[in-house]
Structure 1
Amino acid sequence: MQEEKQEFLFCVEQVKRAGAFSMDTDHFHETYEIYYLLAGERSYYINNLVYSLRKGDLIFINRNELHRTMARGTVRHERILINFRREFPQEMLGGNSLTLPFFSEQCLLLRPDAHEQGTIENLLFAMLKEQQEPRGHQSLYLQTLLIQFLIEMNRIRESAQAAIAPANDEKQRKVYEIIEYLQARYSGTVTLEELSERFFLSVPYLCRLFKQTTGFTIIEYLNTIRVQEAQRRLRESSDSVTRIAEDTGFDSIAHFGRVFKAIAKRSPLQYRKQNR
């Protein structure tokens, strides 16, 4: 998925699902993402927090933030998803820069009121119609719609009385503790037995709780944050691939290569060549 997202500057899609659905793959990419829930309920995991979404909620996810949606409450849901590169709306602004606060944050969850939902949905459906029925100056028209949408998001943010807090019950707090531990220790060996002893949970319950809360198995999560750090090192340093593999917790260069390609959809050397 990450490779696919790199092939375009802008995409909007609408999906309706009648049955229970949870994403089953690691998911982060180099585009910004906006998710609007038209109907139903969803749990949205972003990096190290879980948000409970309901109809009309709007969430903005920054580039390269690990995220996954999961079933919650009613099984039916409908959403509209936008992915775009920053240069897409910037293109029509010339020398001016579109600077909005949420571009520098991990994520932004908004809960628009009925009037704001109407404005948001009108813009989203206009984008969908324009993308599905190509006409003259399509790219420019989509850019204007996206800029209007981003400005509307910022106005909703500014008028909101308080930020919407992530889910924070006892189980989620325990998972947040586990995530914090994994993020601090990913470069070394981490075992389920070690986690079980540290957090006073049986291995089966630990695995089940983590999966239910985040959508990831513990191994999937570890591998993903290791690959994210490896990508940063490949972009920003001259360190060898072997050194990076060792420093990010992989037991062999072959294992590193397999996991990296499964998540990033290219080899470490290909990734470095494309991002230097």
Structure 2
Amino acid sequence: MEPWMNTITPFVRSVKILKSFSLAGEWMDYDHVFTYIEQGEAEFFLDGVKYYVKEGDILLMHPYMSHIIRSTSTFPLIQYIFHFDLYYDEQRVVWKETGITMEQQKIRVEKEMQFTSIAPIAHVHLSDRIDLKKRFLIMYKEFLDRNTGYLLIMKSICLELLVLFLKGQAEPKKKEGKVTKGWAIIESTINHINERYWDPELDNASISKHVGISTNHLSYLFKEELGITIHKYLTHIRIEQSKIKIIEGKKSLTAIAEESGFSSIHLFSRSFKATVGIMPSMFAATQSKVITKLQ
């Protein structure tokens, strides 16, 4: 960690969730932009360098970094985004708009340019994604509600998310490009979960029986390679599927719970709150504030 990182005092200016079926545009901001890809795939051109991003990727764009975005997936691109300054400044905190709209915002502040030497992309390990999304949604709720102390809460969460970004960059790559001996089994497990997540009877025993090895051995392989238990991954998939259905806004929460593999609305609500950080009803309410299309 660079020494200057111990001195930062972030000010979070804006928090938003963007969902778009067709996204293309070019932007430049005077502050930092943290973007987590929740769903979909896209091409990001950052200062002329092209990055292919997908679910689980974080992009951290420093001030005045031009970025062009093009969605490349057939399903909606969902981004979790927040804008922030590295350092609290009384003159800058009154700027609420994102994007450069005033002459003062064109003036570069050197202490805000610390991240220029750091690669702008990181990949979040599966075991960290649940925590990242939970923390972000708490930040999003604080930004919307603006209760006493919300700026301090957002500041603390900003620091936590920056740590996850740096962790994603620093993650050892010794296994990259190598297919491990147990990968075929893990891949079969993932495919089976993705196909059968809606079945409330799906559990470790039935999954291991399907792939043809003992429950203990499968649990070991899965945790060793993905850093997450089979049960937690299954719950993650069910919650992610339920979030997509909530965003679509066509069905009741009871129907969504059943279609996502939960045996009851109570279990669904409890699991959703534990994973996402807010109740599904609150998550549904926030979707009315989501910008569904950006031209």
TM-score normalized by the length of structure 2: 0.46
- Greater RCO, 1 or 2 (C-alpha within 8 Å, sep 6+): 2
TM-score normalized by the length of structure 1: 0.49
